[in-house]
Structure 1
Amino acid sequence: MPKDLYKKISEILDGRQLSISGITRELKNEGYDEHRLFLTGYLRALKDMDKLVEIEVPPSKIYRLMDDSDETSEDVYSLLCDHLKQLDSDYRVPVGIYIAFNLFERPVFRQELKLIGFSEKQIQNQMDDFANIVQESTDTNLKKYRSDITRINIPSGDRAYEIKSDDEYIIQMSNEILIELMKEFVDVKGLVPKTKQTKLSF
């Protein structure tokens, strides 16, 4: 293994994020012909050492450099992914869109839904099932929103979604998720009765 492999990977990922295939290709262009299996393990080791951030974009894994904000806060998409798993799978996409739409104050891009852990099939199926609640956005500012997002890469022309109408059940589930998220960052021990239910009941 070349001694300066980490340095070269850092240079390749400076200001962007790439899949394992993309990193392998860039390394070959620089004269580093590393076996894919070795590189996969090496990248995961760098992730475990908090040198890189690993992002799930099924079926791929995307890597980017760790920055200062990563040291103090967990990736919002990973947090949503973890908590949405508590819900009935039939409601995860619309609830995810509802939370992100209100949190980011803009339509939610398809790429962001993938980062939350949804597959193309899940997104399409639940968009069809909840067409009366969620719709594809026709916001004229979508191009500007894409350019304003600097933490992740949004593909040019990536579709976005927004809330079409409020649904009481979707709002209730979204509020439960947001409360659970808040509890991760706010210490409520000694304030919540020990007999109080703390799990989602959906």
Structure 2
Amino acid sequence: MPQNLNEKINDVLEDRQLSISAITRELKDKGFVEHRLVLTGYLRALRDLKKLQEIEVPPSKVYKRLDCQEKSTDIYSIIGDHIKHLDMEIRLPLVVCIISKLFKRPVFREELLHLGINSKNVTNCLESSTCVVTVSRDENLKLYRSEITRIPIPANDPAYEIKIEDMKLVSMANMVLLEMIKDLVDTTGLTPKTKQTKLGEI
């Protein structure tokens, strides 16, 4: 077994999930020829080591990379990965809603910077008549700044909160939180093997 096979498998599975047959074909195209049974055992070993996720897609199995391992302690990277495809007009209020719910406090500008949201984005939102984000006047901001030790929060760094929490925003925040949990927790053996289209069909 080539020493850099693991690296090649990671390359093949970047941003997608493939069956064993598809992985075998892709590797063959890259010059790596291994018997299917040997490759199957290797993929299952990577699954057991939490390097890959094995997903049941009857009648076969597919594999995908578990890239969240190094990011699992960085909540900003985890959230950022789940909202980066959204337009800024929804991304900013969604982030403020999510972090406020998670940490039970307003969200500081420094935290928004860690999520790719700069001061100009915030200003544009605040100046919009439809913006649901507002500058926080929480009397405990100074205390919050001192208690955040994971990242440095500058003195007098402004903080933001949601002024109008509508059901659509709450629903989107809950969906992102659910996706984050599914990415971070191994649900093998807990979810149905056949795809469910409607919860009401149970």
Structure 1 residue 72: deviation in Å? 8.6
State how many pairs are aligned: 128
Q: Check 1:192–1:90 CA distance in 2 against 1; reply closer, same or farther (3 A cut).
A: farther
Cα distance in 2, alignment partners of residues 158 and 189 from structure 1: 43
Cα distance in 1, alignment partners of residues 129 and 114 from structure 2: 20
Structure 1 residue 168: deviation in Å? 1.4
**C-alpha contact 2:83 2:91 (8 A) present in aligned 1:** yes
Cα distance in 2, alignment partners of residues 87 and 71 from structure 1: 24
Amino acid in structure 2 at the alignment position of 1:118: I
Amino acid in structure 2 at the alignment position of 1:182: I
Bigger CA drift: 153-162 or 70-79?
70-79
Task: Indicate yes or no: 2:137 matched with 1:160.
Answer: no
Q: For residue 76 of structure 2, what is the aligned residue in structure 1?
A: 77
Q: Check 1:93–1:72 CA distance in 2 against 1; reply closer, same or farther (3 A cut).
A: closer
Cα distance in 1, alignment partners of residues 162 and 192 from structure 2: 33
* TM-score computed with the length of structure 1 as normaliser: 0.57
Structure 1 residue runs of 5 or longer lacking an equivalent are: 1-69, 198-202
Cα distance in 1, alignment partners of residues 70 and 188 from structure 2: 25
Q: For 1:123, what is the secondary structure of its paired residue? A: helix
Q: Check 1:104–1:96 CA distance in 2 against 1; reply closer, same or farther (3 A cut).
A: same
Higher radius of gyration, 1 or 2: 2
Structure 1 residue 162: deviation in Å? 1.1
Q: RMSD value over aligned CA atoms? A: 2.3
Q: For residue 116 of structure 1, what is the aligned residue in structure 2?
A: 115
Q: For 1:122, what is the secondary structure of its paired residue? A: helix
**C-alpha contact 1:94 1:130 (8 A) present in aligned 2:** no
1:29-55 Cα deviation digits (max 9, x unpaired): xxxxxxxxxxxxxxxxxxxxxxxxxxx
Q: Check 1:71–1:131 CA distance in 2 against 1; reply closer, same or farther (3 A cut).
A: same
Q: For residue 39 of structure 1, what is the aligned residue in structure 2?
A: none
* TM-score computed with the length of structure 2 as normaliser: 0.57
Q: For 1:129, what is the secondary structure of its paired residue? A: coil
Structure 2 residue runs of 5 or longer lacking an equivalent are: 1-68, 198-202
